Structure 1
Amino acid sequence: MNDPHHEEMIRMPSLAPVTGDTARRLHQLIEPVHLVAYFADEPDQALLALGLRNTWDAYFAGRAAPLGHAPAEVVDAVFYNFAPGEVARHIPHVWTITTPEAALTARRQGCTAALRRILGDLAGTTTLTRAADLATTAATSAPTHGRALYAALRTLPIPDEPVARLWHAATLLREHRGDGHNAALVAAGIGGTEAHVLHALAEGMRPEQFGRIHHLPTAQLTAVVDGMRDRGLIDDSGLLSDVGRKTKEHIESITDEFAAAAYTCLSPSERDQLAADLEPIAAALNAAGPHF
């Protein structure tokens, strides 16, 4: 990528180590910025205006667009946690309707509009601009090896406008973490649907109640749960076993450690500043509720 703005954001890593706890704290503050892509109306409206059929078309077109015209098998591998056949219902069909370039533009414009609406006066503050700059520095600093979606996002130009730049940085950091999370799941031998079951049970929900898998055929979900029980991850009552809880905790800990690489370029004071600047932004987004 030959974007001069991008080049300005890259630094040599600092000597100050970054702990997994710090990476998790910053993730909790940056994640609400990215989540407008999935829960606010404006991104869906912008993508549906391209002629897409439904919100899942919009999801796959918007999120997979950095990968270009990658086939469903590649998108499924990168996204990791969709049930067999789900990706193929949308990829490559969405690319017969629109282009990855148009989807990227629509998604960015929709997310920027959503953030401006929700944040109100915060959107025009020096606090947000500084957060966007620090987040972008972090987001463009991490190694791309083994992180396919993050690497694809790194090829995109960085927006000049602060709100758009903050959302872009949040997306980079979120997908950098997500790629690392997938690696942790693979290392632990946890498949995509199993990851949802593990998360649901850790949150005190039955798998059939969890939004990302509740729609699966009963026999399919039962087979996954039975397989996890056979491996000792779920006990006879259908709850997480000690092994299951330890597996979940280990995966989350490794994910935090992998995510820390993005923040090593920031000094301790810059990391503190980023957290302080993100706090009112995250608070405003969280207060707006899960559907913004």
Structure 2
Amino acid sequence: MKMTDARRMYDLVEPIGLVPYFADESDEALLALGLRNVWDAYFAGRAAPFGRSVPAEVVHAVFYNFAPGEVARHLPKVWELATPEAALAARERGCVAGMRRILGELADDPRVARAADLLLTAATSAPVGGRPLYAALRALPVPQEPVARLWHAATLLREHRGDGHTVALLAEGVGGTEAHVLHALSVGMPAKDFGRVWHLPAVQLDAVIDGMRARGLIGPDGGLTEAGKAAKDRVEALTDRLAEPPYDALTPAELDRLIADLEPISAAFRSTFPM
């Protein structure tokens, strides 16, 4: 598989994987369990494959890019309000409802079922070694309904890629909060305006930026230096390379079929979500 194919599949799969975070139905289904807020919903839904016994420190290590203490504000508290099994069911139920709303008549198009089957073949074919969140998701039952299967497969691939992205960041020496700063500056956005770090105390965010400046990643003007841009490029290239294995399970003809089927599906989500 060519790395360009891995990037193309990321562009097609990522909008489906974002359904839990941009479709209101997911949060609504989780909040109906008695969770306190949308961040409870986030951590309950995403951490549920690990079960209730995995401590916040481990989830923080796996998720990687949250500031210190953010995970512990929600875990394990959420498991006093809802079980992991209930969270998994609610997340799936809400995501399917959101997908059906966005896709409309396309939800029942044969392309959805066909894409779900091919994407699931890819999503369940990669080795789990070094991929903790992907491995936890692989242990879950596979939904039978086509829209649910498509979402499940996309989630598997998203977290497989995410586990690899963490490896790439670690290899480059980029910390979790630093990863958000690096991404924000790479797209021309001040770090303080980026959605995943804007809420941090200014002194905390400034300390992260100062550390990156001391390493030559950020220049006096607050933008990325050439070294910073090169580091970002290396992270993305390694992430793409580590994301290739699932698609090796598909023949070239199957991959072409999958891409063709996913294009209108992905476009529907891209036109709806603020990507």
Is the TM value for this pair above 0.5? yes
1:183 aligns with 2:167: yes
- For residue 264 of structure 1, give the secondary structure of its aligned residue in structure 2: helix
User: Which residue identity is paired with 2:204?
Assistant: Q
Q: Which letter maps to 1:114?
A: G
Matched, 1:251 2:265: no
Cα RMSD after superposing both structures? 0.8
Residue identity in the other structure for 1:57: D
Report the Cα distance in structure 2 between the residues aligned to 1:82 and 1:20, rounded to whole angstroms. Answer: 28
Q: Following superposition of structure 1 onto structure 2, how do residues 193-232 of structure 1 map, counting pairs within 5 Å?
A: 193-232=177-216
Q: Match of 1:168?
A: 152
Deviation of 1:289 (Å)? 3.3
> Which of 23, 47, 51 is matched with 1:68 structurally?
51
Distance between the aligned counterparts of 1:85 and 1:257, measured in 2?
32
Q: Which structure would you say has the larger RCO, counting Cα contacts within 8 Å and 6 or more residues apart?
A: 1
Q: 1:235 aligns with which of 219, 242, 267?
A: 219
- Percent identity of paired positions between Structure 1 and Structure 2: 65
In structure 2, distance between residues paired with 1:237 and 1:174:
34
Indicate which of 15, 40, 47 corresponds to 1:57. Answer: 40
TM-score w.r.t. the length of structure 1 is 0.93
Structure 1: distance between partners of 2:191 and 2:271? 27
Helix, strand or coil at the partner of 2:18: helix
Of residues 247, 254, 261 in structure 2, which corresponds to 1:270? 254
Q: What pairs with 1:88-167 in structure 2 (closer than 5 Å)?
A: 88-167=72-151
Report the 3-state secondary structure (helix = DSSP H, G, I; strand = E; otherwise coil) of the residue aligned with 2:198. coil
Q: What does 1:9-28 align with in structure 2 at a 5 Å threshold?
A: 18-28=1-11
- Is residue 78 from structure 1 mapped to residue 58 from structure 2 by the alignment? no
- Alignment check: 8 A CA contact 2:22 2:273 kept: no
- The match for 1:33 is 16
CA distance in 2, matches of 1:289, 1:151: 28
Code of the aligned partner of 1:33: I
Would you say 1:280 and 2:247 are equivalent positions? no
Distance across 2 between alignment mates of 1:289 and 1:229: 33
- Is the CA contact (8 Å cut-off) linking 2:56 and 2:76 kept in structure 1? yes
Structure 2 gap ranges (5+): none
